[in-house]
Amino acid sequence: MKRLLTFAIACICYSGLDAQPPAPDFTITDSQGETHHLYADYLNQGKTVVIELFFTYCPPCNAMAPLLEPFYQSWGGGSGEVEMISLSTKSDDSNADVAMFEAAYGHTFPGAGADGGSLSASLPYRNGTYGIFFGTPTFVVIAPDGSVNYDVRGPNFQATLDSLDAAIAATGATQPAVSYTAGGIVSLSNGTGIPGAAILIEGMPGATAITDTLGSFSLNALLSPGQDFFLAASRDSNYRNGVTTHDLLLISRHILGVEQFSNPYQILACDANRDAKATTLDLIFLRRLILGIDLELPNGQQSWLFVNPGYTFLDPELPFEEVYEGDAGHIPFSTASPGPLNFTAIKVGDPNNSADPEN
């Protein structure tokens, strides 16, 4: 019984030590003479706050300093859901010193020296309240509810910024959308450009671009940084375009094994009824197109398919599902991807690429 009581007391004590208090409030006057209240100005307004503990003559702080303004701007430069504040940990660092440091590196986020209240504001993060203080720079992420993620860092500067991105996102903050511009070409495998193809970002309504007479397009959209997107292409036009008796001969020879296609794009062109295989039934549907009995293909099969030319098929001889349901039919990208974002076009029923791109 005595041992059980001792164990219970130990658990309670350990739990108490493990629980971290919310971030204490502070008020500072920054290097530009502006006053900042942690809770009233930021946390209570739903903002996440990133604290950088530094000092102006700290070598690692100076080495990392050029990276911080772009990082700050990626989170809205103070106008979004995140604010960043630098606090000097040295008594001989004045607001004037901090102002010179900020000017040298183009920092626009607020920073304070000792005469601006940085020492008292940073003390809880240097005295062991939230963990061991390993020196500068040290980053602290404070969520709107006051919870503290202390000493966010990585093995190098970029890894530290990546860790900060993750820690900030974990508070519920989101990066503001940025203007993304990229371009590409939609063409047949022989290089012929396809005009009139709609370029779409999956999950976003409406086409974002239409290819010109050469098959080129320029994409411009407001996108969230750090998020993965997928680009797709679409074009529905004359189903009969390019479908000839010569194509039927080529497809029948493939089906019979007399002269099979090795190119997955040609194999994809055989599937007229979108059943993920090439059969004599496809020949029947394509012949009905040629004869004018049907004006379109069955089962929702579009007249054109579009494939990421950089995609490697797991099974080049059975590429259908990788295009219909898999990753081959779209291009992954993010705001960090400059492009080009190219597509290879496939006219269904036309394995010899005789379709008129204008039709």
pLDDT in tens, 23-70: 999 999 999 999 999 999 999 999 999 999 999 999 999 999 999 999
Domain that holds residue 238: 177-359
The number of folded domains in the chain is 2
In a domain? residue 210: yes
Q: Are residues 245 and 166 in the same domain?
A: no
The answer as to whether 130 is a domain residue is yes
Are residues 71 and 146 located together in one domain of the fold? yes
What pLDDT score does 263 carry?
97
Same domain as 101, residue 41: yes
Residue-by-residue DSSP string for 155-200: SSHHHHHHHHHHHHHHTT--PPPEEEEEEEEEE-TTS-B-TTPEEE
Say if residue 334 is in the same domain as residue 357.
Answer: yes
Domain end among 128, 152, 170: 170
Does 207 lie in the same domain as 151? no
Give the model's confidence band at 187: pLDDT under 50 very low, under 70 low, under 90 confident, else very high: very high
The answer on 313 and 190 residing in a single domain is yes
In the predicted model, what is the mean pLDDT of residues 292-313?
A: 95
**CATH number of the domain where residue 68 is located:** 3.40.30.10
The residue out of 170, 199, 228 marking a domain boundary is 170
Asked if 116 and 185 sit in the same domain, the reply is: no
Res 337: pLDDT: 87
Q: What percent of the chain has pLDDT over 90?
A: 88
Query: Could you please report the per-residue DSSP string of 340-355?
Result: ---EEEEETT-TT---
